[in-house]
Amino acid sequence: MPDAMTAPGDRIIIALDFPELAPALDLAERLASHTGMLKVGLELFNSAGPAAIESLRLQGARVFYDAKLHDIPNTVAGAAAAAGRLGVSMLNVHALGGRAVMEAAKEGALRGAEESGLPPPLVIGVTILTSLGDRDLRDDLGLAGTAGDAAIRLASLAKQSGMDGVVCSVHEVSDVKQTCGADFLAVTPGIRPGWAGSDDQTRIATPKQAVAQGADYLVIGRPITRADDPAQALADVIREMSEP
């Protein structure tokens, strides 16, 4: 976990999954100072483009660009360089793309940041989406073992390929840390406080479980962004994380 982290909220990444920029910026303004990063994912990026990242950076936020890159190495390197130039603090790439793709993502992201005179972003591998369960892997994708097994296999490959960490479910964090080392970051979506529904997520956990398992960052979207009072929902999550 980065040294600068002190408050529990610093571990929270809010997923700004909106179809346009205005509500994302509005929410960002209300929540950013209590969180570690704001996440721009495929919905917002494909709606608002790089301006989404630039506007959030202008507001002073640190941005996780959840690009989930998955293409050939040359294309991924170019996309990662562009993201690096935009000043993202974290960027991700599918580990299922393989070693050369992850290495290309890292090289591109660092080169892009350097070209803009910015600090190097963290580059993170996506293991198995938390919306997938064991049955999906076995019956539909033909991948060996459980979702957890596959996630650990991909985390190990991500580590060998120079990633700073992985996106994985809370249930895989301790195995990831055991396999890849305590400093290898675990970024965990699929977070659902007791008061929230599961939506389309399968491998879910509460904020308290995430902290107990050693997750470095908790990615939280709908339980906060779709709450009647998002600031209160965030405060509730932070309180739950701090409970003994």
CB of 115 to ligand C5P, least distance (A): 27
Q: Kindly tell me which of 199 and 229 has the beta carbon lying closer to ligand C5P.
A: 199
For residues 173 and 158, the answer to whether their CB atoms sit within 8 Å is: no
CB of 189 to ligand C5P, least distance (A): 3
Identify whether 68 is a catalytic site residue. yes
Q: Give the separation between CA 219 and CA 84, rounded to whole angstroms.
A: 21
Say if residue 54 is exposed, middle or buried (CB neighbours under 10 Å; 0-12, 13-18, 19+).
middle
Q: Kindly tell me which of 31 and 126 has the beta carbon lying closer to ligand C5P.
A: 126
Binding residues for ligand C5P, rule: CB under 6 A, are: 15, 17, 41, 66, 126, 129-130, 167, 189-190, 199, 201, 219-223
For residues 97 and 158, the answer to whether their CB atoms sit within 8 Å is: no
CB of 3 to ligand C5P, least distance (A): 25
CB of 116 to ligand C5P, least distance (A): 25
Q: Give the separation between CA 151 and CA 21, rounded to whole angstroms.
A: 33
Q: Kindly tell me which of 9 and 190 has the beta carbon lying closer to ligand C5P.
A: 190
Residue of 68, 159, 177, 208 marked catalytic = 68
Which residues does 125 contact at the CB level (< 8 Å), separation at least 6?
A: 92, 93, 94, 95, 102, 154, 155, 157, 158, 161, 163, 165, 166, 167
Q: Tell me the residue nearest to ligand C5P as measured from the CB.
A: 221
Q: Kindly tell me which of 64 and 177 has the beta carbon lying closer to ligand C5P.
A: 64
Which residues are annotated as catalytic?
68
